[in-house]
Structure 1
Amino acid sequence: MLEIKPIINALRRSKVGAVLLLIQIAITTAIVSNAAFIIQDRMTYLQQDTGYPEQDIFSLSVMTYGKDRDLSQQFEEDENMLRNLPGVVDAAITNAVPLSGSGSASGMGLKPAPEPGRSVRAGYLMADDHMLNTLGVTLSEGRNFYPDDVIVTQDPNKLPKVAIATRTFADEAFPEGDGLGKMMYIGDRPFKIIGIVDKMKGPWLKDDRPDNVIIFPYIKAETYQHIIIRTEPGQRAAVMQTIEDKMLAAYDKRVITNVIAMDEDKRQYNASDTLMLRMLMVLIVVLVAITALGIFGLTLFNISKRTRQIGTRRALGARKSDIIRYFMVENTLICAGGLLLGCTAAILMGQQLLQRFSLPALEMQYVAGTALMVLVMTLLAVIFPARRAAQISPSVATRSI
């Protein structure tokens, strides 16, 4: 027999400790289930495939202050010099670096302005025909830029007529899946999608559409530029050490800054998410530890208060297993009440996080998993005090009256 009625009567006589423990279990369940779900969501985000060989790519920024060189010519010379360095696979000048958190985006229309029509937002990169190879991505459909497609200019009125898009962008713009070869517009300027890449991320991983990326064959000759370089596997560190000297040797009237590996650039961009992940892990450990200690302490307190009751039961023939079972059932009842309240609070908390912070909807498997974990933890926490209670001899209990 589980002796439910005597246990409930005993809990009624000592309500404060039981209620506090019930509330603690409820709070732990509500917070841990949501925290575990957020951790899993952030881990999936941090470990997502970007489409790039991040360990082989780095970038740098160039600020040119010299006035004695034509920038277009200088950039062409820089690219040729970089591509011929030992250990370098390819290099490209661009307006933005993927995964860096800094770049440009615009709405691409299906009809020219001012005609009304649907538009699709995308981050865009501007570079020459070496960009795909530099980023280590390949076309799944269509073709790469031809050299004649590339526009190098300082004239804002000269815009490219073609572009390469990610499949995610093309499918959003043309849900039928026939985006290759279709015309789109930036304002009233048309361009044609000539190639499609299956996977590549834009500058912002936290964007609503990080996979919506467009590459235009366009280099605007400006005093401030970014350069992306891909090296042979294992050669990146060596190339990065010498790249500033090589650039200044080619032309010394400029400043080289922000020499950074792509994976490090992404790590810095995601630093706040990583910090949140670690804080949530610490929070879970602390909450579970406090709850376990609370159960342990409450059980010890109950034992000290019930020494006479336990001794009397032992004198009447109760076995050690009966005493252990008594405290296990008692704590299971408290835990069940706390879990019922905690699961309800977890669902309500998840709904609030969804509404206020646009987090994904809490999945019920995390609530169920947390409830099971808390139940097991409460049973483990009560075993030692219960076994200690079972060791009380009838004679010791009698002398304590």
Structure 2
Amino acid sequence: MSEIKPILSALTRSKTGAILLVMQIAITLALVSNAMSIVADRAEKINQTTGYDEQGIISYTLLTYDKDTDIPKQFKEDIRQLKALDGVIDALAVSSIPLSRSGGSRTLSTDPEEHSGKTADSGYIRANHHVIGALGLTINEGRDFAQSDVIYGRDGDYPSVGIVSREVADKLFGKGNGLNETVYSGDDAFKIIGIIDTLKSQWPRSKMGNSLIFLPIEEALTYQKFIVKTTPQKRAQVIKQIEPLLLDLDRGRVVMNIKGLDTSKADTYAGDTLMIRMLIAIVVFLVIITALGIFGLTHFNISKRTKQIGTRRALGARKSTIFKYFLLENLLVTALGVVIGGVGALVLGRELMGHYSVPPLETSAVLITAMMMLLMSFIAVYSPARRAANISPSVATRSI
């Protein structure tokens, strides 16, 4: 610790460089800690379990423009032919595709008078009794749809039963409840016969991300979406076969947006993925610039003090003493920057949380970033400090 006073004296004599480096370290710490907190939050959301068999599901859309086509009959033939393909397990029409950012939503209530009971907004998917199995979902409470539950066409009666996500049931009836309860939506009502714990809606990034209901309604429309359940190993092969097969069966239509469910998920989270990449690039850039700043300042100080270093060596100072001197000098500068940056990081985190949809910055994240900054500064100063320690006393005393 006897070195601290001369170090402070030396930094005071060339304070401009030290102050700039402290500011650089502080700004880097504040930005990096908040950026990495956002990256961790976005990555966690992207990697959340959706409940679906993402690797085994294909979705596509059919637009039938031939007015002479008997659409219900044609769809039955389509599904029969699709199921005959190698690797296909099931196929059916649905009102919307999970994770696709497109579909319908409804306000659900525990009371026929919406404003009198508890309410919850939820996405919905209409499909026949095969939908739960085709999507690879698991019913945790209650039962699956039976064929007798299915209503055919929009003009039929409203179905008497439905399957909901756990979040919908919890919002309406309290945590752990909801099975066999009646849910109201406008003039319609259905009984909850099944609850699925892990289930993402069409909009996984929204407030309705975990709110979804399935209604046993089978439709055959001119603009209709479908899902095809396959074995993961055969999915790529089946994707190539779908369009030729369907157009061979009926040329009076267009087949669109054939893709795997994992691709739909990737498209939905494309903005988050881009943000993660940009923030990581910014973090790497800032860390490199800061490391170069530490390296440059230390190198400059060594060049400026060559004669002084040589004099100390001539007076008996060991190489390890010179090496430790510059490590300690760098540690003091970095520590001051880390302290200022830590406070700045927490202030910036609160501001970001207040103005944008970002999670609160944890103190642990700031501490981890601070440790990384200290490690980075040690690595950056190691080579210049070794160079200073290796200065020969005879060479140093001849320098000007």
TM-score, normalised via structure 1 length:
0.95
Matched with 1:17 is 17
Deviations 1:109-168 (A, max 9, x none): 11113552221111111100010111011222222222232122242x742221111122
One-letter amino acid of the counterpart of residue 386, structure 1: A
Task: Indicate the SS of the match to 1:122.
Answer: strand
For 1:115 and 1:274, locate their aligned partners in 2 and report how far apart those are by CA, in whole Å: 39
For 1:313 and 1:115, locate their aligned partners in 2 and report how far apart those are by CA, in whole Å: 84
One-letter amino acid of the counterpart of residue 366, structure 2: V
Matched with 1:326 is 325
One-letter amino acid of the counterpart of residue 88, structure 1: V
For 2:175 and 2:51, locate their aligned partners in 1 and report how far apart those are by CA, in whole Å: 24
One-letter amino acid of the counterpart of residue 12, structure 1: T
Matched with 1:340 is 339
Task: Indicate the SS of the match to 1:374.
Answer: helix
Is residue 38 of structure 2 the alignment partner of residue 35 of structure 1? Answer: no
One-letter amino acid of the counterpart of residue 5, structure 2: K
For 1:364 and 1:42, locate their aligned partners in 2 and report how far apart those are by CA, in whole Å: 18
Deviations 1:347-383 (A, max 9, x none): 1111122111121111121111110011111112112
For 1:254 and 1:164, locate their aligned partners in 2 and report how far apart those are by CA, in whole Å: 32
Is residue 66 of structure 2 the alignment partner of residue 62 of structure 1? Answer: no
1:101-250 to structure 2, matched below 5 A, reads 101-113=101-113, 115-155=115-155, 158-250=157-249
Identify unmatched segments of 5+ residues in structure 2. none
Matched with 1:53 is 53
For 2:205 and 2:351, locate their aligned partners in 1 and report how far apart those are by CA, in whole Å: 21
Deviations 1:274-327 (A, max 9, x none): 111111111121111111111111011111111221122122221111111111
Matched with 1:377 is 376
Identify unmatched segments of 5+ residues in structure 1. none
One-letter amino acid of the counterpart of residue 398, structure 2: R
Matched with 2:300 is 301
Change (3 A) 1:392 1:286: same
Between the two proteins, the alignment pairs up a number of residues equal to 400
Deviations 1:59-95 (A, max 9, x none): 1100011222343333334333333433211112111
For 2:107 and 2:154, locate their aligned partners in 1 and report how far apart those are by CA, in whole Å: 23
For 1:79 and 1:104, locate their aligned partners in 2 and report how far apart those are by CA, in whole Å: 24
Shift in Å, 1:267: 1.2
For 2:275 and 2:114, locate their aligned partners in 1 and report how far apart those are by CA, in whole Å: 44
For 1:397 and 1:68, locate their aligned partners in 2 and report how far apart those are by CA, in whole Å: 97
Identical positions, percent: 49
Contact 2:165–2:199 (Cα < 8 Å) also in 1: yes
**What's the RMSD between the two structures over aligned residues?**
1.6
Matched with 2:291 is 292
Matched with 1:390 is 389
Is residue 364 of structure 2 the alignment partner of residue 365 of structure 1? Answer: yes
For 2:356 and 2:121, locate their aligned partners in 1 and report how far apart those are by CA, in whole Å: 22
One-letter amino acid of the counterpart of residue 129, structure 2: D
Task: Indicate the SS of the match to 1:85.
Answer: coil
Deviates more, 1:144-153 or 1:18-27: 144-153
